[in-house]
Amino acid sequence: MERFDTMLEAAEFAATRCKSWSFATADDRYDVKGLLVLAETSDSENPIDEDSFYVVSPAGAIGLCEDGEDIDWLFLSDNAPNEDLPLTYQAAPQIRFCPKCGTPVVPAARFCGKCGNRL
């Protein structure tokens, strides 16, 4: 799941995965052009706060994550109307590298498995 700071950025990315959406809580439907216009208007009239962000699902659904965890799904992808959408956002674990040899290391490791450098 991808993360974005504005609805317009999320809508532009979602448009690479889907060509039409339905509003999650109403019968309103949007094509790419309509969604982009709505997103631009929303960003200018009602910007989100600094702790919030938008997410885009693999099928192109767009959600708002207001508290950094819970997702309020706004637009559902017509490509996958039954997509299993998560209710919370979890960032992908960050890959760490040994500063000495550059080898990827296991999260929470205290020593590099290749060169033995203390991490």
Quick: pLDDT tens for 37-53.
999 999 999 999 888 99
pLDDT given for residue 50 in this prediction: 86
pLDDT given for residue 92 in this prediction: 64
pTM: 0.75
| Rounded-to-integer distance, Cα 27 and Cα 14, Å | 19
pLDDT given for residue 93 in this prediction: 63
pLDDT given for residue 13 in this prediction: 97
Residues of the chain under the 70 pLDDT cut = 92-95
| Rounded-to-integer distance, Cα 43 and Cα 97, Å | 37
